[in-house]
Structure 1
C-alpha cells in the first residue's frame, strides 16, 4: 500500500520519498497568521511588563543554573527586578549579586531595569510619544540619554582597565566575565547599589571612579539619586561655552536657559557642601582612612548603598 495515502478529508501534500513514511504537515510548518491590528500591544504595555519579564528570566535562570527551587527562584527574581527598577540596591543575598558575577542572564535584566528606572519618567514619556522621531525629543531627553551613554561607557572602560589584573576582582575571571562584571559595576555605581564584585577589594583609583559615578547619579524625576545627569551636562556645556568665548550655552542646536544654568550650579554647590560636611564629621569621630569615608559619604548622598565594608564599624553619630 502506498504510504502516502491519506484519508479523504485531508488535503493532499507532495509525495514523500519511497523509503520514508509520510506524515501530515506539522503546525510549525504552517505560516503564522497575521495579528489583528486591534490586538497589537502598545509600547506602554510592553514597558509595564518589563519588570515582570525581568523577574521571569531571572527565575528560569536561577532554577536551571543555580539550584534554587521554583518558589525561591520566583521570589528572588521578583525582588531583584523591583529593587533594580527602583534603584534601591536591596538584595536577599548576603553578598548581593556576587554569586552571579558570570551569569549574563541574571545581570543583564538587572542592568536593563536599573537604566530604565534611572533615566527618569519624563524621558520615558518622551520616548513613548516620539520614539521614532528623535529630532523632536526634548533637550532634557537628549541630554539625559547622551549623558547616560557617556557615563556607562566611560565607567565601564575605566573600571575594566583599573581592575583587569586585580586578582581579588576581575583578574581571575575569563574575558567574558570580566566584561560583564565591569559593565555591571558601571551601571550599578550610578545609585543602584548592587555589586557583583567585592567593593572592599577595589584599589583607590576604582573607588575614585565610583566617587564620580555615584555623585552624578541618574536622570531627573526618576528612581536614581545623585545631582542628576542634566546638572552635570549643563555644567559641562557651560564650561565649554566659556572656553570657546561664547555668551550662550547651547546643546543640540538649542540654547540652555540662564535659569537652568543657575539651578545646575546651585545643585552642584549644595551637593558638594553636603559631601564635604559629612566627610569632616565622620573623620572627626573615627580613624577610618579618608578615601573609605569619602566613598561611604558619597554613597549615602546619592542613595547608592555601596560600601567598602566600614558601615558597621562607624559610631552611631556617624551612621
Structure 2
C-alpha cells in the first residue's frame, strides 16, 4: 500500500530525528573505555558474589570423599542428591526448619502491619503528643538496656523457652517505622482529605488508601524483616536453653559447625578413634554444607520477586527526613 503524503513526511521527520539523536549520543573513545572498565568491574563483582553460593552448591551434590579432600572447587564430580535425602534423618532438623519458616512468616507479617499502622499514626498532626511518641520510638535506635537487662525482662515476662520470644520483641521496628512514615508523607494529602470529606474514618483511610499505596515500602521492610528472622540464631541460642525443639535452623547449623570442629580436633589422638572421628567429621562437614545451602535457598528464591518493590520503596522512603 502506497504511503500518503503525511506518512512520508512523518517518516522523514522520524528518520531525521533518529539520525540527530544518534549523532548527539555518539560515544567518544573515553566513554567506550569507561564502559568497558565499568562492565568488567561489575561482571567481576557479580562473579565474586555468586561464586560462594555456587561453591557451596557443587560441594553438596558431589562425591563426599572428594569434598572432604578439598578437590571440588569449580566443577562437581560424582553428582548426586543423597546429601539432601540424608537430611531427613538428621536430629531435629525438621523441627528447626518449621520453626524458622513459621517465625519468618508470622514475625514479618506482624512487623509489617505494626510498622505501617504506627508509621501512619505519627504522620497525623492531631495525634495526642505525636512528637513525644515518635521521639520515644526513635531514641530506642540509639539506646538500649543491654543483653542482660533484656534477658531478665523476658524471663519475668515468661517468654524464655517460649516460641513467642521470636515474635513479640521484633514487632516494633523503629527504623522500619521511620521508612514507612517518610513514604506516607510523600502520598498526596488531597487523597486523605477527600476521603475524610466523604465521611471515612482513620482506619478506613488507612486500609483503603494508605495501605494499597504503600506496597513498595511495605515490601521493602518485609524483605528486611524476613532476612532478619530467617538468619537469626542468637535469640534461639540465648533464650531457648531448655527447649531444643524450638531451635531455629540457623541455631542447628551453629551446633553442627561446633561438632565438626570438635571431631576434627579429636582426630589428632590417632588409632581407631582417629579413623572413626574422620568418618564422622566427613559426614558432619557434608551436613554443614547442605544445611547452609538449604538455609540460603528461601531468601534467594524470594528476593528476585521483591526486588522491584525494594528498589522503589527504599528510594522513595529516603526522600524526606
The two structures have a TM-score, normalised by structure 1, of 0.25
- Greater relative contact order (Cα < 8 A, sep 6+): 2
Q: Which has the larger radius of gyration?
A: 2
Which structure's residues are more often helix, by fraction? 2
